[in-house]
Chain A
Amino acid sequence: MTAQTLHLDEYLITEEPYYEPVGDEIAIFEAAYGNRLPVLLKGPTGCGKTRFMEYMAWRLRRPLITVSCHDDLTASDLVGRYLVRGGETLWIDGPLAQAVRAGAICYLDEIVEARKDTMVVIHPLADDRRVLPIEKLGELVRAAPEFGLTVSYNPGYQSVLKDLKQSTRQRFVALDFDYPSADLEAAIVQKEGGLDAEMAGKLVRFAEMTRNLKGSGLEEGASTRLLVHAGKLIASGIGPVSACHGAIAQALTDDPEMLAAVEELSSSLF
């Protein structure tokens, strides 16, 4: 049996990602990381959680291993598994085990989506023990001092069945993310989408309108990410109404009535 680890250099972020701080989140994250505390990012989709992690990994010069959790993600997907090669078994470290050994930052996106058994491996990593039990190897891996654990979740569309358990959430330092304020968001859309200030401002206004619809037909309003998408389309010459239709309205809902309402809003605004 041999263990195999990937080169972590690939996970190093060399160029500074564009990130506009909203509050004191950078200082808090740095303090938490320095004290080896795990961090929980809360907030709606597309408001910049992942970008924030990229930025922090760049700032702290650590490789960032991101795992997007889904409802079939098991503990062995995180920890590792045996493979068979030429009649021999071969152990492959999962992303979490790699990060633990190499002292990378591991970012588990949408943690509540993962299956319940994944919590078993996260819990001992998320308190002062900082160990990862690898049951199948009979090994207890001590985390490297630089290892950092961050998880994210979106409290918006969680059902009762998929809420984060108290025993889990009370291990983390929580950072609450929300869409940036209108001016800041406009600046982001302007920079990322490559638009003029007026159009960026209008896009942000449109986003506010869809956010007003949250809870009365839409599960979520338009995220900053969607605005950037629409902005990019507009910047390449697509009309604003069609850009909003393709990049925002269709992404938000399939319900024909809601779609029509969102279309009415965009055609009124532009």
Chain B
Amino acid sequence: MSNGLQNERREQPNMRGEVVKQPLDKNELESILDRILEVEFTFRQTAEPAQRLAAMDRATQDYVLDWVGRVTSNHIELGYQYACYADKALHLLDREMVEAWALHAMDVYDRDGLRPALAVMHGLDDFLEDQHQRVSGSVLEEVNGVLSGFLHGLSGRRLKLEEGPHPYTDTEVLYLPPVMARLAGKHDNFLLYKSAIALLWAQTRYGTFRVLLDGALDPETASDELVALFHALETLRLEAHIARELPGLFRQMERLKAELEQPALSAPWRELRRRVQSPCTTAHDCLCLAEAHLGRIQPFPDRFYRAALKPVAVADCMAARLEREKARFKVSLKELEDEQREKQDREAKASRFEARLKRDDPEREAMEMEILLDGRPMKLPQFTNKLLNSILLDLGNLPEDYLEPAGPGDYDAKLLKDEEPDPEDVWSGTYHEEGAHLTDEWDFRRQHYRKGWCAVRERTLIPKDESFVRETLRKHSGVVKQLRKTFEALRDEDRLLRRQPDGEGIDFDALVEAISDAARGHEMTDRLFTRLHRSERNIAVAFLVDMSGSTKGWINEAEREALVLLCEALESLGDRYAIYGFSSFTRKRCELFPIKRFDERYSAEVKGRIAAVEPQDYTRMGFAIRRMDAILREVDARTRVLVTLSDGKPDDYDNYRGEFGIEDTRRALIEARRNGIHPYCITIDEQARDYLPHLYGPAAYTVVSEVRALPFKVSDIYRRLTT
């Protein structure tokens, strides 16, 4: 049968006249898979997955083949495994979950490489565990916002939520698995997350880890059995706290427990539960009980939410924090003391800090303390208050030596400030991402983001001699004058508008006329008021300048001259503006060069930096737009504008070429627009290229070939925005 005939047979209209595609048969599927998976070179057996796919309807087949393609764009083996598992996954999970599973595997591939990613693929069996019914699970990425809100609302230290293999906490980050799919309903799976969060939060809130501080439990030497028993007892103690503090959640947990058929506690365990239930029981009590019962009783099976206890992970994190917070707390007391002294002009009178419990309430572990200076209660700044709370969470009280103020000189500066690694250092020969802003990047083949893919760093430009600026101003002196005029015309001023239909004052001239009109029998105008027109320009503009190697020559020259002219013009307008340059060399080295930040003045140094704008490496536009998007959103302004100046070719040394770069840049512009930013792209080139309309689709764009034309384009943008 010829191909044409085949298609004819396949696409026969059904009763309603719609064309229904017939399913592909095994041979056709096999050949498609062979092509996608490049079997010619990789010798994979596609017969088996093709066999299974053949049983599906055409829509599902197309869906699977599309995803095989997307996954294969990362790695062929990953795509092959997806093809093998797709049938089973679709059988047991709804599509949303299948997609979450595939995307998770791809994220793991990006982050940790092929082997762990394959483990995720093979892990489908674990993932479904003892599941016999189709489930619709809860995906962490989707519910992260709600869960974070829930977690931050609970009192205590601000914990971060991150993805991890199973639920546990190191007392600063709370790790949760990417997907919860143990129950059939989506909401119930969400509750599993919530329960896990509540228990882990309770570990930090009710002092589970205080046993590590005085050496009662040594994380290195303690046997697994002891830790397991301690964890079981702690779970009971903390559940009792949850029952008291969050009774609504506790009821939900009880319901899930019943649904998941957790075996009821044995009699000895029920007895132990009775002993740890009181609010006065401490983690130390539980540890003593655990030691006493070691070998005599087995811990009960994991609770349904499977929150784990990891003393080793906690110990390091806690030790570092304790040292850091002690230093910071003492230094901030010192600052408070100085401030107080200045206010009251007290001459070197020794002052003394004391701590006092705000209330003594055994029901709620008293976590509130106030600090007194010379007997008077102090209102602590937010930062100090947070420190105090965090210290109380760790220690349960505030030791005396914490109350002795200390100058910042007494401590290593590293302890006092979160370190900002020097971007120059980070790059010197190493390959890690520490200290960089990680931004996502759109992979058009995957039709999804690669998470935290680009490591963006801000680097300083060494200012050059500003003679370039003088030279430019001289060269274009005519343009500068004209520009000033154009921009000054945009400037708005307060003025009193007369003869308004409404306003705050009476326009007496108009009134006199109107009354005399009325006396003569004419119609009286209603435009009798004066109104003050206020100029409230509230614009922030960021300029993003392409510093890639391809701008070398006249484009770079044009960019620099344009920047000088723009600054001159914008200064007369008085709006806030910032200028950043960008360049890249693979995703690990995405660099942003601040030329003028929003809060900086147009100083000699800024002028020097403009002169120092030089062609560097490649043009990875996506990261720069996303980063500027974030910077702009931090500025408080009614209208935010992002103007990119480039030669219009997204390009980088790795695979950021052609379609990939164009699609990612386009995506970044869409994101910016969605975030309420007005993106404008100015391409400096002698000819308009055919891909520009697609690339800049989401933004307004223009092509200029002449330097002097550029600032006028910007004034056009302004006019459009402000009128």
Binding site for B on A (CB under 8 A): 74, 76-77, 81-84, 87, 89, 115, 117, 136, 159-161, 176, 181-183, 208-210, 212-213, 216-217, 241, 257-258, 260-262, 264-270
On whether the beta carbons of A269 and B246 are closer than 8 Å, the reply is yes
On whether the beta carbons of B153 and A76 are closer than 8 Å, the reply is no
Query: Which of chain B's residues have a CB closer than 8 A to the CB of A213?
Result: 149, 152-153
B146 within 8 A of A: yes
On whether the beta carbons of A84 and B506 are closer than 8 Å, the reply is yes
On whether the beta carbons of B152 and A212 are closer than 8 Å, the reply is yes
On whether the beta carbons of A262 and B506 are closer than 8 Å, the reply is no
B155 within 8 A of A: yes
User: In the complex, which residue of chain A has the Cβ closest to the Cβ of B198?
Assistant: A268
Binding site for A on B (CB under 8 A): 145-150, 152-155, 158, 194, 198, 245-249, 252, 358-359, 368, 379, 504-506, 511, 515, 528, 532, 534, 538, 636
A87 and B153 contact, Cβ closer than 8 Å, known pairs A76-B504, A268-B246, A268-B248: no
CB distance from A76 to the nearest CB of B (A): 5
CB distance from B381 to the nearest CB of A (A): 13
A143–B647 Cα distance when bound, in Å, is: 67
A209–B249 Cα distance when bound, in Å, is: 15
On whether the beta carbons of A161 and B636 are closer than 8 Å, the reply is yes
On whether the beta carbons of B150 and A264 are closer than 8 Å, the reply is yes
Query: Which of chain A's residues have a CB closer than 8 A to the CB of B153?
Result: 209-210, 212-213, 261-262, 265
A257 and B247 contact, Cβ closer than 8 Å, known pairs A74-B504, A208-B155: no
Which residue in B358, B511, B515, B532 is a CB contact (below 8 Å) of A181?
A: B358
Query: Which of chain B's residues have a CB closer than 8 A to the CB of A74?
Result: 504, 532
On whether the beta carbons of B248 and A267 are closer than 8 Å, the reply is yes
CB distance from A194 to the nearest CB of B (A): 22
- 19 A-B residue pairs with Cβ-Cβ distance under 8 Å, sorted by A, are A74-B532, A81-B505, A82-B506, A84-B511, A117-B532, A136-B505, A160-B636, A210-B153, A212-B152, A241-B248, A258-B149, A260-B146, A261-B147, A264-B146, A268-B198, A268-B246, A268-B248, A269-B245, A269-B247
CB distance from A10 to the nearest CB of B (A): 25
CB distance from B543 to the nearest CB of A (A): 21
On whether the beta carbons of B504 and A261 are closer than 8 Å, the reply is no
CB distance from B502 to the nearest CB of A (A): 11
A209–B248 Cα distance when bound, in Å, is: 15
Query: Which of chain B's residues have a CB closer than 8 A to the CB of A270?
Result: 247-248
Query: Which of chain A's residues have a CB closer than 8 A to the CB of B148?
Result: 216, 261
The 5 closest A-B CB pairs, nearest first, are A261-B149, A268-B249, A209-B153, A257-B145, A268-B246
Query: Which of chain B's residues have a CB closer than 8 A to the CB of A161?
Result: 538, 636
A129–B379 Cα distance when bound, in Å, is: 34
CB distance from A133 to the nearest CB of B (A): 16
Query: Which of chain A's residues have a CB closer than 8 A to the CB of B515?
Result: 87
On whether the beta carbons of A216 and B152 are closer than 8 Å, the reply is yes
CB distance from A226 to the nearest CB of B (A): 15
On whether the beta carbons of A212 and B154 are closer than 8 Å, the reply is yes
A209 and B145 contact, Cβ closer than 8 Å, known pairs A76-B505, A160-B636: no
CB distance from A89 to the nearest CB of B (A): 7
A130–B379 Cα distance when bound, in Å, is: 33
Query: Which of chain B's residues have a CB closer than 8 A to the CB of A261?
Result: 145-150, 153
A59–B447 Cα distance when bound, in Å, is: 68
